[in-house]
Structure 1
Amino acid sequence: MTVGEKSYAVELLENDAARDLMRRLPLEVTFENFGAVERIAYLKKALNLGSAPRETTPAAGDLTYYIPWGNLAVFTGPFRHSPDLVPLGKLSEEALEAVRKSGNTPVHFAVKP
């Protein structure tokens, strides 16, 4: 993941939704604040969920997909157990801080060479 000129580690999970996200890379999104502990970004097309879990209890740094709205969500703090929230991966502490401070700066996701 790249914000501005700096790259950060993101680890994707082994599930169908995360694999579909990976197939779309490289991907550019712009995150916005949502609620007290989320930054969200909308995808142009819904992820193929396959057999991916459809609920999770997110923690800080979790990268997730919210089914009803079709958006990515990065959690900046812990949150309650949530149905319709698909776990996709985990951001490093540095990546989380970069997303938290990204404002309207585009965030690029790509496979590390």
Structure 2
Amino acid sequence: MKLKITIEGNTATAILYNTPTSRDFVTMLPLTVEMDDYANTEKIFYPSRKLSVQDAPKGFNPSVGDITLYAPWGNIALFYKDFGYSNGLISLGKITSGIEYFKVKGKIAVTFELEQ
């Protein structure tokens, strides 16, 4: 699945993997949120409900551009820097262009929608 992400007037693109968690995320789209900076490594937000973790691996080792769910907290995390393996982290997809729009300080307004 192809994803269009609008970040304060700029457009990034991503692919979402065909997993139960990613498919559950798609049911929430289109979605406009404010993403907070976390640890100068990722942008995060909390969806309005918990996403499915069916058939998810125990953890994941994220790198730049990964879109993930951190199941213990229920937040979506988009990594703009590499990070180490984390239990409870589930890969949803990957940014294919526009990662630079996430490498800004503070909060950003973001809209996620399926690319038509």
Same fold (TM over 0.5): yes
Task: Give the alignment partner of residue 82 of structure 1, picking from 86, 93, 104.
Answer: 86
Cross-structure match for 1:44: 48
Q: Which runs of 5+ in 2 are unaligned?
A: none
Q: Is the 8 A contact 2:35 2:109 kept in 1?
A: yes
Which protein has the bigger strand share? 2
How far does residue 101 in structure 1 lie from its aligned partner after superposition?
2.6
Question: Which whole-Å CA distance do the structure 2 matches of 1:80 and 1:5 have between them?
Answer: 31
Percent of aligned positions with the same letter in both sequences? 31
Q: How does 1:1-113 map to 2 (within 5 A)?
A: 1-94=5-98, 96-101=99-104, 103-113=106-116
Question: Which whole-Å CA distance do the structure 1 matches of 2:55 and 2:38 have between them?
Answer: 27
TM-score (structure 1 length as normaliser): 0.89
Which whole-Å deviations, capped at 9, do the CAs of 1:43-65 have from their partners, x for residues lacking one?
A: 11110121132310000110000
Q: Is the 8 A contact 1:64 1:85 kept in 2?
A: yes
How far does residue 31 in structure 1 lie from its aligned partner after superposition?
1.2
Q: Is the 8 A contact 1:31 1:102 kept in 2?
A: no
Change (3 A) 1:102 1:91: farther
The SS at the match of 1:97 is helix
Which protein has the bigger helix share? 1
Q: Which runs of 5+ in 1 are unaligned?
A: none
CA-based RMSD of the aligned residues comes to 1.5
Q: Is the 8 A contact 1:31 1:99 kept in 2?
A: no
Runs (4+) of structure 1 exceeding 6 A deviation are none
Q: Is the 8 A contact 1:33 1:39 kept in 2?
A: yes
The SS at the match of 2:100 is helix
